[in-house]
Amino acid sequence: MSLKYLIKNVWLPTTKRLGRQDILVQNGIITRIAPKINDAKATNIITGAGNYLLPGFLDVHVHFRDPGQTAKESIETGSRAAAHGGYTMVCAMPNVTPVPNTPRALAQLIQKNRAAGVVPVKQIAPVTTNERGNTLIDFKGMQQAGAVAFSNDGIGIQSAGTMYAAMQQIQATGLPLAAHVEEQSLMHGGVINAGTAANRLNLPGIDAVVETSQLARDLELARSTGVHYHVCHVSTARSVELIRRAKAEGINVTAEVTPHHLLLNDTMITADNPMYKMNPPLRTAADQQALLGGLLDGTIDMIATDHAPHTRADKGNSFLGSAFGITGLETAFPLLYTKLVTTKTVTLSQLINWMSTRPAELFQLPVPELAVGKKLNGALWDLTSAQTLKPATQLSKGTNSPFWGTVVSATQIQTFVNGHLVTL
Please say if 59 is a catalytic residue. Answer: no
Q: Could you write out the DSSP letters of every residue in 396-415?
A: SS----TTTT-EES-EEEEE
**63 is annotated as contributing to ligand binding:** yes
The reply to whether 252 sits in an annotated binding site is no
CB 181 within 8 A of CB 218: yes
- What is the rounded distance in angstroms from the CA atom of residue 58 to the CA atom of residue 77? 17
The backbone torsions φ and ψ at residue 380, rounded to the nearest 5 degrees and listed phi first, read -90, 125
Write the DSSP symbol of residue 123. E
238 assigned ligand-binding residue: no
Among 144, 139, 61, 135, CA closest to 359: 61
Q: Is 64 part of any known ligand binding site?
A: yes
Give CA angle at 182 (160, 230), nearest 5°: 75
- Report the run of H or E that residue 173 belongs to, with start and end: helix 160-173
Would you say 319 is a known binding-site residue? no
Three-class DSSP labels, 46-86: EECCCCEEEECEEEEEECCCCCCCCCCCCHHHHHHHHHHCC
Residue 186 makes CB contacts below 8 A (sequence gap 6+) with 207, 209, 210, 213
- Compute the distance between CA of residue 107 and CA of residue 117 in angstroms, rounded to an integer: 15
Question: Is beta strand 87-92 parallel, antiparallel or unpaired with respect to 57-62?
Answer: parallel
Q: Is 95 annotated as a binding residue?
A: yes
333 among annotated binding-site residues: no
DSSP category for residue 187 = T
Residue of 287, 306, 314, 382 marked active site: 306
Give the sign of the dihedral formed by CA 359, CA 420, CA 70, CA 121. negative
The answer to whether 324 is annotated as binding is: yes
Q: Are 23 and 17 in contact (CB under 8 A)?
A: no
180 is in an annotated binding site: yes
153 marked as binding residue: yes
| Residue 66 assigned to a binding site | no
Type of residue at 394: Q
Please tell me whether residue 91 adopts helix, strand or coil conformation: strand
Q: Which residues are annotated as a binding site for Zn(2+)?
A: 61, 63, 153, 180, 233, 306
Q: Which residues are catalytic?
A: 306
Q: Which residues are annotated as a binding site?
A: 61, 63-65, 95, 153, 180, 233, 279, 306, 310, 324-325
Q: Which residues are annotated as a binding site for substrate?
A: 63-65, 95, 279, 310, 324-325
